[in-house]
Amino acid sequence: MYAITIPEPGGPEALVWDEVPDPVVGEGEVLVDVVATAVNRADILQRQGFYDPPPGTSPYPGLECSGRVAQVGPGVSGWAVGDEVCALLSGGGYAEKVAVPAGQLLPVPEGVSVERAAALPEVVCTVWSNVFMIAHLRPGETFLVHGGSSGIGTMAIQLAKAVGAKVAVTAGTKEKLERCAELGADILINYREQDFVAELREATDGKGADVILDNMGAKYLNRNVQALAVNGRLVIIGMQGGVKGELNIGALLAKRGAITATTLRARPVEEKAAIVAAVREHVWPLVSAGHVRPVIDREIPMPDAAEAHRIVEDSSHIGKVLLVTPR
């Protein structure tokens, strides 16, 4: 098969479409003929040499894919050759074929094409596991997501609205904020021009956010605590603003607040399967009913992955950038 390889870490040009051995399907796994994958920020870190794949997983980038089942490994039930699926991966989505633990497969939801389904698994599993399974966002609560027009943000807005939360977003341009509003966001904050703590306070009668989904890490740590409501939950999933911050514990105590940080890729197969099962139960009906949809900026042929990485690094996209396997 062909896959995007990274012979040497570096810029986008480090991504090379090359012939590689086919994956071997192990016990409990399914082989998927990949139709499409989608770019995640983690792929850029992997390309740069800062985020190695977990031991025993595919060396190629790609944390999600869609496609058709090509082979069912020993010990797998419930899936058959030809099924249209999408999958949460630990890597290997930028390839014509990938072997996936069966617990990480999802059917392509009704009303979504097999190609576009590639934009769903990573963002849906990340948002559902953090905002709902960990932070327990409830109807009527206020939810703040930073980077509202990102892949993660566009999904977080839709899911939070679907459960009846009030949604605040930060983004860097007026156009991006407008797209967030179209997806349902109620409170729009331009992080380049406005102070999100003050804006949120004003929009919530001084109360703040019950749950914050944060991509910035160190840079926003103390301001996120300031923006929390009493009993608020801050969930950190990204480090775009650095890894080391100083926390004002007094401010957190006063809020009776909680801070959690997680990464999905490193979680054991059983935990990923539990998240995927929860997504199938709670989110897939919302997608099939049209309440939640993948937001796709554009589709690019997989061999041109370098172009897709440039777009995501420039942050000129809204939602997800798809990479489609050549036929």
Ligand X SMILES: NC(=O)c1ccc[n+]([C@@H]2O[C@H](COP(=O)([O-])OP(=O)(O)OC[C@H]3O[C@@H](n4cnc5c(N)ncnc54)[C@H](OP(=O)(O)O)[C@@H]3O)[C@@H](O)[C@H]2O)c1
Residues contributing to the site for ligand X (CB under 6 A): 40-42, 122, 126, 146-147, 149-153, 170-173, 176, 191, 215-216, 237-238, 240, 262-264, 312, 315
What type of residue sits at position 153? G
CA angle 35, 68, 128 (to 5 degrees): 80
Closer of 100 and 212 to ligand X (Cβ): 212
The alpha carbon of residue 242 and the mean position of all alpha carbons in its chain are separated, in whole angstroms, by 19
Instruction: Pick the closest to residue 147 from 69, 213, 72 (CA basis).
Output: 213
Tokens 């994958």 — which residue? Answer: 37
CB atoms closer than 10 angstroms to residue 7:
9
Question: Counting beta carbons within 10 angstroms of the beta carbon of residue 137, is it exposed (0 to 12), middle (13 to 18) or buried (19 or more)?
Answer: buried
Closer of 71 and 262 to ligand X (Cβ): 262
Closer of 22 and 307 to ligand X (Cβ): 307
Nearest approach, Cβ of residue 216 and ligand X (Å): 6
Closer of 29 and 297 to ligand X (Cβ): 297
Query: Which position's Cβ is nearest ligand X?
Result: 238
Nearest approach, Cβ of residue 255 and ligand X (Å): 21
Nearest approach, Cβ of residue 199 and ligand X (Å): 13
Closer of 256 and 298 to ligand X (Cβ): 298
Closer of 126 and 204 to ligand X (Cβ): 126
Nearest approach, Cβ of residue 282 and ligand X (Å): 18
Tokens 């998240």 — which residue? Answer: 275
Nearest approach, Cβ of residue 25 and ligand X (Å): 26
Closer of 31 and 143 to ligand X (Cβ): 143
- Cα dihedral: 227, 124, 286, 274 (round 10): -110
Nearest approach, Cβ of residue 77 and ligand X (Å): 29
Q: How far apart are CA 20 and CA 147, in angstroms?
A: 36
In which element (H, E) is residue 158 found?
Answer: helix 151-162
Strands 97-101 and 2-5: unpaired
Nearest approach, Cβ of residue 188 and ligand X (Å): 11
Backbone angles phi, psi at 284, to 5 degrees: -60, -40
Tokens 């419930």 — which residue? Answer: 78
